Amino acid sequence: MAKVKLGPVKVSPMGLGTWAWGNTLLWGYNPSMDNELQQLFNFATSKGVNFFDTADSYGTGKLNGRSEILLGKFIREFQQGTQKDIVIATKFAAYPWRVTPWQMVQACKGSLRRLQMEQLGIGQLHWSAANYAPFQEQALWSGLAEIYKEGLVKAVGVSNYGPKQLVKIHKYLEKQGVPLSSAQVQFSLLSMGTDQMEVKSVCDDLGIKVIAYSPLGLGMLTGKYQASSTSLPQGPRGLLFSRVLPGITPLLDALEEIARKRKKTMSQVAINWCICKGTIPIPGVKTLDQARENLGALGWRLSSDEIAQIEAAAANSPQKMIQNIFQTK
């Protein structure tokens, strides 16, 4: 599998997200899933996927940090290929008590302990504090620079940063001699809009790679759910689906049409669109079947006509994905 340059590291053109690993509230995790999670990790890695995204806040309640712990375990027990080729990108939460650079360094060291690694591929700020605690932002930025200078990470990135804040942190880090390698943002046909494309444009201008999270709109672009269906997910996702799905019929119809012609699934078409836009999508996975399906998005590309067709359908769909509350301007 041909790799993509992401700062100083080379990664597969699609990574896998691990938000669900340890999250009981949104994704219904329980430890009995761990065996299948290890199977899907082994399968994906054996097929050339070497990029996994996680966070120190992934996991709910007593399971906080569970995603990192599981990834560390799976990497150690992986029998095929070379473990050193696996690139882990983790994110450090901008918790209100992280108000000094030293606390950011400690957060990074905590992630390294859970992952049982000596160096991370990419260390990322999970979100900006600019919206609610702007005084904290400078400390977070300084901490990000420090973990790079100390060699705890190969590269640094941000998540949920809007175009204006992205330019500011890039300028700050540049003065510190620290390159900003990645910007993780909600990026999909469902969230396609002015803000999304402005972030992509800024990243292109500054040489920052976009990592696309929620490329399937939390599952709404898979074609597996209908607004009138009784099989909607439980909890907050189900409420969101019931609100959004009725307003994206044109987009779902276009995805279904192209998927049928291509002999692909709707998920594969939606992920491939993200790749065609120059991003690295990280669809979340929690089953082996999902991993197999997502890998079908690789090794081919949508035509320019197909891209235009689904983008027009997205524009004609009255409902959009709700923006992350931590997203800045």
Instruction: Say if CB 282 and CB 49 are below 8 A apart.
Output: no
Q: Which regions of the chain does DSSP assign to beta strands (E)?
A: 4-6, 9-11, 16-17, 51-53, 87-92, 120-125, 153-159, 180-186, 209-213, 280-281
* Helix, strand, coil abundance in the chain, percent, nearest 5: 45, 15, 40
Amino acid identity of residue 110, one-letter, is G
Amino acid identity of residue 300, one-letter, is W
DSSP 322: P
- Quickly tell me which residue has 């709404």 as its tokens: 220
Amino acid identity of residue 146, one-letter, is E
Bridge-partner residues for 89, per DSSP? 53, 122
Instruction: Say if CB 275 and CB 301 are below 8 A apart.
Output: yes
- Is residue 95 part of the annotated active site? The answer reads no
Residue 166 neighbours by CB under 8 Å, 6+ apart: 158, 183, 199, 202, 203, 206, 208
- Distance, in Å, from the CA atom of 19 to the CA atom of 107, rounded to the nearest integer, reads 18
Catalytic residue among 29, 58, 148, 213: 58
Residue 1 neighbours by CB under 8 Å, 6+ apart: 12, 13, 47, 48, 49, 298
Instruction: Say if CB 8 and CB 155 are below 8 A apart.
Output: yes
Which residues does the annotation mark as catalytic? 58
